[in-house]
Structure 1
């Protein structure tokens, strides 16, 4: 079973090193790339106000948070939920930095001792779409994920959107699967379906004279530009001598 947790946070500002704190955690569970509905969503009383710029982004006020638990009160619940999972985070250093800071303040071990690994979808997107905007909103637009309800940032909503984005970004990895849940063989491994290719009748479309002439012209031009060193001419000559 492959268990992944798509995770997002909201904070009082941009720098844990300068005293900013975590105020919201949103987690969405994927098992074998499918949403399970076993999500985790928590708000935290950070004991300080959000920076005005951060407040404009997430809209979570100090008044709203005043009766919420402190992060350290929820560590055991968070640790148990994340245990052994692979995390999927957009711009992972930011969220991990805040989570590890909260754990450090509570004198707990870093998150790497709880989870199996981390996938950064921002790094993934930059590799797939170099030179393009790869914010969560940009990826939603590019991949057809509906983010019309995202007027403010929210950890759970953003995690849900990121889960859809991640599944779309990696869809090619399972495009060739024949079944969603492969049966188990007697030896314990998955049963690979056997397809009888003899039942398929493929239509053969042959090139017409005009297409053959155009193709030959391209080959001639390529042969000229290489100084007569193209491999097919060499093999063509060898075949004629047989």
Structure 2
């Protein structure tokens, strides 16, 4: 699977870096402490541009060259038999570094993943990651009140991000989930509305030329004596006319 996705990466590797380009990633390991000989067994990376996935991703399993403890297998479901024929991290690290370039990396509880990746890089004689790393765990801790659970699962539930596609932890699946959570931590899709530069267009009814004929104003003349007498006679003949009460 990793090789197939790597082929997709090669086809798009000429795409120039752009502002807002970041890489959400996650790892699965044989344990909690690289200092105790634990290794990375899976990595998943999702490319995002302006917080939205671009469709480019990287995924690979690794042979850790050691036995998988049961407690770790219970978390991600990866066992010795499945990982036996997978490549070593040292066979793939150049692909990973080329894929992310110098762009910022995004991870949940990022210190854990950073520590493991740096340990793997030391094994192959490379220096530690130089990328800026964004920790969504720390973002969530600052965003929500103290005591709020900010695990990836808890944040998915809080933001109504479906966990239906995941029964066990997986690096690529969790990277996709985290990309959605990361968007919500920045305000969701609503943040894309740039209200500061939006102008409201008011439709003004079109004024059509008036083609109707213009009639001359009526000129009222002064009534003659006969006309006044006829009017007064008409009024006197009316019963209870208000004019007779004046």
Task: Give yes or no for TM over 0.5.
Answer: yes
Partner of 1:52: 70
1:25-44 equivalences in 2 (<5 Å): 25-44=43-62
Q: Deviations 1:174-226 (Å, cap 9, x if unpaired)?
A: 626339xxxxxxxxxxxx84625988xxxxxxxxxxxxxxxxxxxxxxxxxxx
How many positions carry a matched residue from both structures? 184
Q: Deviations 1:48-82 (Å, cap 9, x if unpaired)?
A: 11221111000101110111100000011011001
Q: Distance in 2 between matches of 1:145 and 1:173?
A: 13
Normalised by the length of structure 1, the TM-score is 0.71
Residues 154, 198 of structure 1: CA spacing in aligned structure 2 closer, same or farther, 3 A cutoff?
A: same
Residues 171, 7 of structure 1: CA spacing in aligned structure 2 closer, same or farther, 3 A cutoff?
A: same
Q: Deviations 1:74-129 (Å, cap 9, x if unpaired)?
A: 011011001121111000010000000000011011111xx2x1110000111112
Partner of 1:122: 137
Unaligned ranges ≥5, structure 2: 1-17, 204-246
**Structure 1 stretches of at least 4 aligned residues deviating more than 3 Å after TM superposition:** 176-179, 196-199
Partner of 2:164: 148
Residues 5, 194 of structure 1: CA spacing in aligned structure 2 closer, same or farther, 3 A cutoff?
A: closer
Q: Mark the structure with the bigger radius of gyration.
A: 2
Residue in structure 1 matching 2:153, options 137, 151, 165:
137
Q: Distance in 1 between matches of 2:166 and 2:63?
A: 23
**What do you get for the CA RMSD once the two structures are aligned?**
2.0
Q: Distance in 2 between matches of 1:167 and 1:64?
A: 33
Unaligned ranges ≥5, structure 1: 180-191, 200-242
Normalised by the length of structure 2, the TM-score is 0.70
Residues 133, 196 of structure 1: CA spacing in aligned structure 2 closer, same or farther, 3 A cutoff?
A: closer
Residue in structure 2 matching 1:195, options 191, 199, 211:
199
Residues 172, 31 of structure 1: CA spacing in aligned structure 2 closer, same or farther, 3 A cutoff?
A: closer
Q: Distance in 1 between matches of 2:153 and 2:143?
A: 16
2:106 counterpart SS class: strand
Q: Distance in 1 between matches of 2:89 and 2:193?
A: 41
